[in-house]
Structures are given as C-alpha cells and as structure tokens.
Amino acid sequence: MSGGPMQLGEFLRARRARLRPEDVGLPEFPGRRRVTGLRREELAQLAGVSVSYYTRLEQGQSGNASAAILDALAGALQLDEHEHEHLRRLATRRPRAEQPRQERLHPLTRDLMCAFETAPAVVLGRRTDILAWNALGHALLAGHIDRAAPDRPADRPNQARMLFLDSHTRDLYADWPRKARAVVGNLRLVAGRHPDDTLLAALIGELSMKSPEFVKLWSDHRVKPCEADAYELHHPLVGPLTVTQQILIPARSPEQSVVVVTTPQGSSAADSLALLARSIPAEARRSRTPVQR
C-alpha cells in the first residue's frame, strides 16, 4: 500500500480513464478507440508535458514530478481538491513511518459522546475502527455485536470490514453500493496520507482477499472524505427510516471522527429512533463510555 511512483501511476491511469475527449474540449476522431478515456498523448498535451515523460510517470519510472507539473496534471484530469491533494501526496517521497499503534479514545472525546443522549453516535478511528458508541448508536448500527467490543482492541469492530463482510451491516443500508463507495473513497484518502500504515495495509489486504466488490471499488482510485449524507436504513427492529450521518472532528484527535446520526424533528424517522431508544434496557442507556487506558 505504500505510496510512491507505482501508486502515483495507478492513480493517474484510473483518473485518465474517467475522462472522454469531449469532457476536456478535444475533438473526437473517427474510428474505434482502443482505450477507455483519454489517451496518454491527449493528457500530456493538455498538461503541457511530453508524452515520454508522462508515460514514465504512469509506469512508475519517475517520482520527481515538480509541483507545477502536478498542478498541470490535476487541471488536465479535472481533479477536485481532495484528489489534487492525494496526487501531491503520492508524488512525495517520505521516510518510512514508525510502526503504527492501536488508536485510543481521548477522555475529551468520551465526554463528548456522553453528551449525546437522544442521537446515535459512534467514534471512528482513521482506519474505520469503532473506538466507541453510545447505546443508541450501537442499537441502530450494530445491535448484533457485543456492545463492549470497542473497549477490547483485539475484538474491536471495524466499519469497513462490517460493511463488506457482515451480512447484518450490508442489509442495513438500502443503497449499500453508495455507502460502500463512500467508505472506500475515504480509505483511499487515508492510505494516501499514511502510506506506510501496516495496520491499514492489513485491513485493505483482508478486504481484497475476501470481497471482490471491495477490489472493484478500490481499483477505481476514488478519493473522497466521508461527509454528511442521508441514508435509508432497513432496521431489523423498527423497520425503514431515513437518517443523516454527520461528521464531527474531535479537537484532540483530528484523525478520528464522531459520526452523529440525526433526523428531522417530528419526522417518522425520529419516531422510529425514539421507539428504538425505548427498546434499550435502562441500565444500558445509563452506562457511560469508559476511558481506554
């Protein structure tokens, strides 16, 4: 998973295949095209670089592209700001990082979680490990899993693993492909920021071995952070409901995220969440998220 010329070349090829000549103002020549998307020579022309140099970039034979060339390629490929940043990271050679450690829940994030009493909330690590959830977040998103599992690093649930390999989680999302694309796009972003994270590489390797759908999405090289979005859920206890998953970034743990599930006040989805909350035993509702040491 490490960054460098090969990852850079794969990303460039994937983004080039996404564009058609008419998308970038080039004339379409008669006859059948042998490649999907733009040809190398067409992209090189748009970026103002030689075809031979661009070919070396795609083949992983050159890792010293200047900032000006990367900006020109980003413009030619019509990259958004997240893809542009990802391109720069892939082209930057960095020293190997130290062995990553298991993530921990900061006490201030624990206190924030305790403030959510009527809204489902989950804390995700950068690798989509579930570091904590409140009672309603657990009941809504993963009631079939031991609620105390996030407190045990060895047994900690992982959102990406659950989404692709757990049938309960898969069935929860009415539009599972859209949720899967969002999670994989965010994983690609994290992989670009942490190319030598061996724990992240192990997760990607596991999903690649066990899920052909993950392999297909990963090979697309989509890069996009998870943002606020609405999803229709098919919950086994309260039935269908549409919720919005919003993202908060803890000040002391900027690589983690607090996912808060909201519904419009007075909506049928809000009524369904209230019904689900009443199904949770009182002792479980009162329990607080423990401090991880």
pLDDT in tens, 165-190: 999 999 999 999 999 999 999 999 99
Last residue of a domain, one of 35, 65, 90: 90
- Position 10 in a domain: yes
Same domain, 127 and 222: yes
| Maximum alpha-carbon separation in the chain | 71
Report the C-alpha gap between 224 and 126 in whole angstroms.
14
Q: In one letter, which amino acid is 55?
A: T
Q: What percent of the chain has pLDDT over 70?
A: 88
| Side chain identity, residue 56 | R
Q: Do 186 and 81 belong together in one domain?
A: no
138 and 237 assigned to the same domain: yes
Range of the domain at 139: 107-286
98 falls within a domain: no
Residue 81 located in a structural domain: yes
- Say which DSSP state 288 is in: P
Residue 35's CATH number: 1.10.260.40
Specify the pLDDT at position 27.
67
User: Which of 65, 90, 115 is the C-terminal boundary of a domain?
Assistant: 90
Considering the domain boundaries, does residue 292 fall inside one? no
- Report how far residue 89's alpha carbon sits from residue 4's, in angstroms, rounded to the nearest whole number: 9
Q: Which of 59, 90, 121 is a domain's end point?
A: 90
Bridge partners (DSSP) listed for residue 257? 124
- Shared domain for 120 and 33, answered yes or no, is no
pLDDT of residue 286: 61
- Examine the domain organization and report whether 117 and 168 are in the same domain: yes
State the average pLDDT for the chain: 86
Place of tokens 């609405």: 230
- Indicate whether 84 belongs to any domain: yes
Contact between 194 and 204 (Cβ < 8 Å)? no
Rounded to 5°, angle at Cα 181 from 176 and 186: 130
Tell whether the model's pLDDT for residue 290 goes beyond 60: no
Res. 215: pLDDT tops 90: yes
Cβ atoms of residues 274 and 262 within 8 Å: no
Residue with the bigger pLDDT between 193 and 167: it is 167
Least confident of 17-26, 161-170, 224-233, 282-291: 282-291
Q: How far is CA 49 from the centre of its chain?
A: 32
Map tokens 């692709």 to a residue: 164
99 found inside a domain: no
- Identify whether residues 217 and 277 lie together within a single domain: yes
Q: Are residues 113 and 243 in the same domain?
A: yes
Token pair, residue 125, equals 């690590």
Number of domains in the chain: 2
Same domain, 247 and 159: yes
42 with 115, same domain?
Answer: no
Same domain for 18 and 118, yes or no, is no
Kindly list the distances between the CA atom of residue 184 and the CA atoms of 39, 98, 191, in Å, as whole numbers in the listed order: 27, 24, 10
The whole-angstrom separation of Cα 155 and Cα 288 is 19
- C-alpha dihedral sign at 93, 95, 98, 103: negative
Write the CB contacts of 220 (distance below 8 Å, at least 6 apart in sequence).
Answer: 14, 184
- Number of Cβ within 10 Å of residue 25's Cβ equals 7
Same domain (yes/no): 63, 137:
no
pLDDT over threshold 80, residue 152: yes
Question: Does residue 100 sit within a domain?
Answer: no
Radius of gyration of the chain (CA): 22
11 and 144 co-located in one domain: no
How would you label 41-55 residue by residue, b for 16+ Cβ within 10 Å and e otherwise? ebbbbbbebeeeebb
Whole-Å CA distances, 138 to 150, 184, 198, 234:
10, 22, 28, 15
Residue 25 predicted with pLDDT over 50: yes
- CATH number of the domain encompassing residue 169: 3.30.450.180
Does residue 157 lie in a domain region?
Answer: yes
Under the banding of pLDDT at 50, 70 and 90, the label for residue 129 is: very high
